[in-house]
Amino acid sequence: MGQIIERYALKRGHQIFLVVDEHNRPNLTADDIKGADVAIDFSVPSAALDNMNLCLEAGVPIVVGTTGWYDQLEDVKAKCLDADGSILYGSNFSIGVNVFFHINRMLAKALQPYKQYDVQVEEIHHIHKLDAPSGTAITIAEG
């Protein structure tokens, strides 16, 4: 996802300040990213947490599409508030999926009186999927 965002950002004339991967991430400091308008993270849970902390330290807003770290959400919120920072996160940024999330909540409300029904979420992904269940499936189940 990050590579797709990079491609479209460049196509639209935006400048990419820095691309972070496993090769350069261990050596980054807040000074390395100061001056960026925004950071966009579609990585892995452990890296996303480190990236959010680094961005908060540098005063760089961050958009996080990585899931699997939500058990740390309250700590992240507290750090964000303490730093007067900005973090936008979501389990899925697709417009279609977010419409589905909305419909899912409406359906759950409509079915609530009918206790004889039970619901479940089943998902199938490629073998390289990093988080299972996915953040999307968790959002659907919570809805």
* pLDDT (0 to 100) of residue 19: 85
Which residue out of 14, 34, 102, 129 is catalytically annotated? 129
Could you tell me if 8 and 66 lie in one domain? yes
pLDDT digits (tens, 9 = 90+) for 6-62: 999 999 999 998 888 777 777 888 998 998 999 999 988 888 999 999 999 999 999
Residue 62 and residue 17 share a domain: yes
Same domain, 23 and 63: yes
Q: Are residues 22 and 50 in the same domain?
A: yes
Indicate if the pLDDT at residue 99 is higher than 90.
yes
Q: How far is CA 38 from the centre of its chain?
A: 14
- Do 128 and 63 share a domain, yes or no? no
Number of domains in the chain: 2
Provide the whole-model pTM: 0.80
Residues 31 and 73 in one domain: yes
Residues 12 and 82 in one domain: yes
Residues 34 and 69 in one domain: yes
If asked whether residues 68 and 120 sit together in one domain, one would say no
Answer yes or no: do 72 and 102 share one domain.
Answer: no
Residues of the domain holding 34: 2-89
Q: Is 125 a catalytic residue?
A: yes
Residues 7 and 73 in one domain: yes
pLDDT per residue as tens digits for the range 116-141:
988 888 888 888 777 778 888 888 88
Selected catalytic residue, list 109, 115, 125, 128? 125
**Are residues 30 and 62 located together in one domain of the fold?**
yes
Spatial separation of the C-alpha atoms in residues 132 and 63, rounded to whole Å: 21
